Amino acid sequence: MRTYEDFTDLMAADREPRENYFTLASCILPRPIALVSTVSANGVPNLAPFSFFNGVCANPPSLVFAPVTDRTGKNKDTVNNLRATRECVVNVVPHEIREAMNRSSFAFPPQVNEFEEAGFTPLASRLVRPPRVAQSPVQMECKLIQIVKVGEGPLSGNLCVCEVLCFHIASEACLPNGTADVTGIDLVGRLGGDGYATTRDRFDLPKPALPTG
């Protein structure tokens, strides 16, 4: 295995938040994408993608995603809606809906229905008010556990910790053991800059057995 000996050290405290953001986003990848559906206190549906996103644990089944504040330190609509209603749906993003997902990332004003702007079809959820995205093969209905504020000012974080109440997996991609088929859902991940990845180039690495003898 190759070892690295020469490093460029970037002291985070000496850098602008924007610079640290671009460095983080180019080093942590590929990142899964949560296409998050919420509704405002007065019922306007909202959609936005977040790639600072992952699962947390299985008991309860839970996930996190992290909308940052904008350049002026203002919260995004997703955070305002979650605070007001404590519900969301996390939809996954297959290659086929990449353009519409990208459109939903535009900073529309809060009164705009982003399902309509992006061209997505809303599907009623079973347990929460935010609709699901019919073009996504896996939708997770969630209730908010807590929002952890990380830092303050521009580009500070709101780590949204959510419990999954119901998984909806498109039957054609749902395996008998209740997992999703990786080929069937064909998800994309975010790289740094404008880059994205698919999951089509794959390899297996079985779990190691304990060395014997």
Nearer to ligand FMN, 74 or 175 (CB): 74
User: Could you tell me the smallest distance in angstroms from the CB atom of residue 25 to ligand FMN?
Assistant: 9
Binding site for ligand FMN (CB under 6 A): 33, 46, 48-52, 66-68, 76-78, 102, 105, 107, 190
The distance in angstroms from the start CA to the end CA of the chain is: 25
Give whichever of 160 and 174 is closer to ligand FMN, judged by the CB atom.
160
Taking alpha carbons only, the member of 90, 86, 85, 18 closest to residue 49 is 90
Query: Would you state the structure tokens that stand for residue 160, as one six-digit string?
Result: 């949204």
- Cβ 173 to ligand FMN, closest distance in Å? 21
CA distances 5 to 2, 111, 183, Å, are: 10, 53, 38
Is 135 within 8 Å of 80 (Cβ atoms)? no
Write down the least CB distance from residue 197 to ligand FMN, Å: 11
Tokens of 85: 């209603």
Nearer to ligand FMN, 46 or 85 (CB): 46
CB of 165 to ligand FMN, least distance (A): 21
Question: Residue 207 Cβ, how far from ligand FMN at the closest point, in Å?
Answer: 30
Q: How far is CA 147 from CA 65, 68, 74, 82, 160, in A?
A: 10, 12, 15, 9, 5
Contact 13, 151 (CB under 8 A): no
Task: Give whichever of 70 and 179 is closer to ligand FMN, judged by the CB atom.
Answer: 70
C-beta closer to ligand FMN: residue 49 or 137: 49
